[in-house]
Structure 1
Amino acid sequence: MADDPSVVIIGEDIGALGGVFRITDGLLDEFGERRVFNSPLAESAIVGTAIGLALRGYRPVCEIQFDGFVYPAFDQIVSQLAKMRARSGGRLTLPVTIRIPVGGGIGAVEHHSESNEAYFCHTAGLRVVACASPADAHTMIQQSIACDDPVIFYEPKRRYWDTADVIVGRPGAEELGLDRARVVRPGSDVTVMTYGPTVRTALDAAAVAEQEGRSLEVIDLRSLSPIDLPMLTASVARTGRAVVLHEAPTFAGLGSEIAAAVTERCFDLLEAPIARVGGYNIPYPPARAEERYLPDIDRVLDAVDRVTAH
């Protein structure tokens, strides 16, 4: 915002309150109410206003308060935001970033713990990304705002309280592109492909697996649409086995597309079918039962057992 006066922020309670998770705390004082402004409780209006602002040369950043609140804005996102560039033959761009806190694990009530990335990954014209660490959150949000495409930016709620050092003003040449995956733990026996809140789960599972004599390579996708398939296929070509992990239900989830795409490219190199680990195909459960729903270390290691049994 300091570098680009066209960047504005719009959302519910993002001004003086600083947002539910205090992500925008202090920005109103620094940049004023003409660039940081509260919206009505109307997600369709938030995105619709952002589309109009983008058409007038602004780079709006929308905050959707919780993942389950994005559905009233669904038509604006998939019918207007995602389509405008193609509809205009490339003459119009909508550089809108939509920030969405995602996933469970915080003991929230109904509609506050969704994992709805598959809807937006299925929609051509949108970039969909998910950060998993403070350093990536810092870098990727700036890359998203600078991107001329509309970006759905997922922020895992369970990681909001993580802290780490970040390098302010790091040259772009030293950063991964917004559409690139990252190997966060090298390994040789099984590739675990994951993103967002379950990157930590995969790393914890890899630490346990190492004690049992198995080496897991953990890849953080970072970009969910497009997917960095060259990175994934190169890893699976080395290990010969793979597990896909995410919080969303496995039925028609993003893991299905990843498993199919990697299998098409690595069929002759796979030693076993790719296993999927995710949430169950049910409405998100009440807070007291969410730990039984969310993928954990044991479920990841069970999948590793299945792909290494062949």
Structure 2
Amino acid sequence: MAHGVTTLATLKLTKEIKMFLYRMLFYLFMFGVPSVSLAYDVPSSYRFPYMMQDPDTGQAYRASYHYSGNTINYFVEPSAQHFDVEFNGRRYPFSTRDLLEGDSVTQGVLSRWNNVIRLRRTNNMSEANLVIRSSRAPAAGPGAGALAIGTSLGYGTPRASRALIEIHPEQFEPMRQRLETLEQINRYRFIDYEEDYQLLNTLMLYTITHEFGHVLGFSHSRMAHSCIEQSSILNQRQNAPLMIGDLTDYFLVQYHLNNDTAVSIEDIRPSRTELAAYQSANQNGNQFECGTVNRAAGMVLRSEF
């Protein structure tokens, strides 16, 4: 009898293990895995900031030139002023104004970009050079399956008369499932949160801050060079490149870059290298060169090929 009980328990355990493995394979097939998973992978995945090519000059994109008076006048379409996100079986409300300008608790998107450009809200779409809207992600083509998309003023063919940030609320639940699977595989939590809303708020702030980078003219970070930031102040937290093209890569790089410390919402901001790249582009139209000393940013950058 004892042998029979052991056998049944073993069979049950084996079945549970098989189901777990099948579930993991399904998630891996559906969502993939990030390119960064170990601490020693960080240097090879640390990206080089890159501004889009300016269609007028052929140089690096200059937001201060395209946005008159170095000011972004943003208009929020009615559907995006307040929107809800379904997340792990619950509905959570968001205010676009709070996301951009901040509230009494959380810094807004603009301040995370170190206020490199002025931001002014307008209720008149004809005055706007940035439109923000909320809609479902397209079924195919650019933006399909993405949390959001962002484009800059004067870019594309035909040239865009306004910049755009389009939020896709229904895509945050699939991202939650992907992150949950990665936590199970890696056996650690790389984002700092306790409640679902805290996780969702962190993902939302990262997404809008990243898309605002595209509005400013940033392309996704490139792998041609590997720029490693070295802080001039010992033990100062470092920022992973905000413009990494994959959300999970960003959080994993940030996690490993800071001694395997879970990433909090306060950590989400562009790296010093990206701010230096923006400054270089807007001062003289040049792409920022890795391997230079940028004293204004207080950082020493070195190239690794």
TM-score, scaled to structure 2 = 0.26
Who wins on radius of gyration, i.e. which is larger? 2
